[in-house]
């Protein structure tokens, strides 16, 4: 896994306005920790081709050098996504936020802060289980980076073009966002669609279970996917995710 081989422009912010009736529907797609906008580009292109207005922000500290992620405060991540939500509100009648992994936590945090019309979560993160995270502050004092957790993709020859190192101080900030966001899950009331990979080597199923049980959304659906690993937006079940997210948008917009 490396950011060096990414297609030109795929590590940067991406914005495309839609057309027709769907052009008034905006979607912000949020990538995961140590990942990049590249992991959300296929999904964004799928929606754009169907007329939707899309934004794929590059979260601060990502898509550059892994050391940069050690110098970011967690509040910068939801703030970056909120910027796109607020801009879309000016030109769209409905705005959705879609998130992968940490992008799922970021999506939930955004939803707790500003109005959105619906969300889609793919293998979302809401806690770091186990006792190891308790030693994260100590580890961060002595090591700036650890082995990467990225590129958990079943499909052969596919990469998310993320960092090949896990920045330890960035993990501390991530854990802070997870705790704050989980404490406020009851504030999430919007229609929610969640995808969970049965074979996820990055996050345990407890993350999806917590979210589904603690959000207050009356309309919430969970779909298990069986032929993809963690970065499912680039894996074998991507089309299943894309089409079901499209159906989710259509249900919310139609008011069904």
User: What's the confidence (pLDDT) of residue 160?
Assistant: 86
134 vs 244, more confident: 244
- The residue extents of the domains of the chain are 14-254
Could you report the per-residue pLDDT of 77-113, keeping only the tens digit for each?
Answer: 999 999 999 999 999 999 999 999 999 999 999 999 9
Q: Pinpoint the alpha helices (H) of 90-131.
A: 102-113
- pLDDT value of residue 55: 98
pLDDT value, residue 165: 83
State how far the Cα of 12 lies from the Cα of 38, in Å rounded to an integer. Answer: 8
Contact status, residue 38 vs residue 109, Cβ threshold 8 Å: no
Q: Is 17 a catalytic residue?
A: no
End-to-end, the C-alpha distance of the chain in Å comes to 42
Of 6-10, 134-138, 140-144, 156-160, which has the strongest mean pLDDT? 156-160
Mean of the per-residue pLDDT values of the chain: 91
Catalytic: 101? yes
Query: Residue 1 corresponds to which tokens in the numbers above?
Result: 């896994």
What's residue 142's pLDDT? 46
CB-based burial of residue 156 (10 Å sphere; 0-12 exposed, 13-18 middle, 19+ buried)? Answer: exposed
Active-site option among 84, 151, 152, 200: 200
Once rounded to an integer, what is the mean pLDDT over residues 162-188? Answer: 92
pLDDT at 207 over 50: yes
Closest alpha carbon to 18 in 255, 231, 220, 253: 253
pLDDT of 150 over the 60 cut: yes
Return the pLDDT at 161. Answer: 87
Average pLDDT over residues 199-207: 93
Q: Which of 31, 62, 127, 230 is catalytic?
A: 230
Q: At what angle do helices 102-113 and 168-183 cross, to 10 degrees?
A: 40
Is the pLDDT at 141 greater than 70? The verdict is no
User: HSE of 97 in the Cβ direction (CA atoms, 13 Å)?
Assistant: 32
How many secondary structure helices (H) and strands (E) does the chain include?
7, 9
From the list 101, 208, 228, 245, the catalytic residue is 101
* CA-closest candidate to residue 231, choices 74, 1, 53, 14: 1
Report the CATH number of the 14-254 domain.
Answer: 3.40.50.1820
Q: Going along the chain, which residue ranges are E strands?
A: 14-16, 25-30, 53-56, 94-100, 118-122, 145-147, 165-167, 192-197, 220-225
**Residue 137 scores a pLDDT above 60:** no
Q: State residue 157's pLDDT score.
A: 87
Residues 162 and 149: their CA atoms lie apart, in Å, by 10
245 annotated active-site = no
What are the tens digits of pLDDT across the range 212-241? 999 999 999 999 999 999 999 999 999 999
Q: Determine contact, residues 87/114, Cβ cutoff 8 Å.
A: no
CB neighbours of residue 68 within 10 Å: 15
Percent of the chain with pLDDT over 90: 77
How does DSSP assign 3-24, residue by residue? Answer: STTSPTTTTS-EEE---TGGGG
């Amino acid at each position: 896994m490396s950011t060096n081989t990414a297609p030109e422009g795929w590590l940067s912010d991406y914005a495309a306005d839609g057309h027709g009736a769907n052009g008034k529907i905006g979607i912000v797609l949020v990538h995961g920790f140590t990942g990049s906008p590249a992991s959300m580009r296929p999904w964004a292109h799928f929606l754009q081709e169907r007329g939707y207005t899309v934004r794929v922000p590059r979260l601060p500290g990502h898509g550059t050098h892994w050391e940069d992620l050690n110098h970011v405060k967690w509040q910068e991540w939801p703030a970056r996504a909120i910027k796109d939500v607020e801009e879309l509100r000016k030109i769209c009648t409905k705005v959705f936020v879609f998130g992968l992994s940490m992008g799922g936590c970021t999506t939930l945090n955004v939803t707790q802060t500003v109005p959105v019309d619906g969300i889609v979560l793919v293998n979302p993160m809401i806690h770091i289980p186990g006792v190891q995270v308790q030693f994260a502050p100590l580890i961060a004092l002595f090591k700036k980076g650890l082995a990467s957790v990225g590129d958990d993709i079943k499909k052969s020859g596919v990469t998310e073009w993320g960092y090949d190192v896990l920045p330890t101080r960035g993990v501390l900030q991530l854990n802070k966002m997870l705790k704050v966001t989980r404490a406020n899950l009851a504030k999430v009331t919007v229609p929610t669609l969640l995808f969970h990979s049965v074979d996820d080597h990055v996050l345990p199923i407890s993350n999806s279970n917590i979210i589904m049980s603690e959000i207050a959304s009356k309309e919430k659906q969970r779909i298990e996917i069986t032929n993809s690993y963690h970065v499912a937006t680039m894996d074998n079940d991507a089309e299943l995710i894309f089409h079901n997210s499209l159906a989710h948008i259509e249900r919310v917009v139609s008011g069904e």
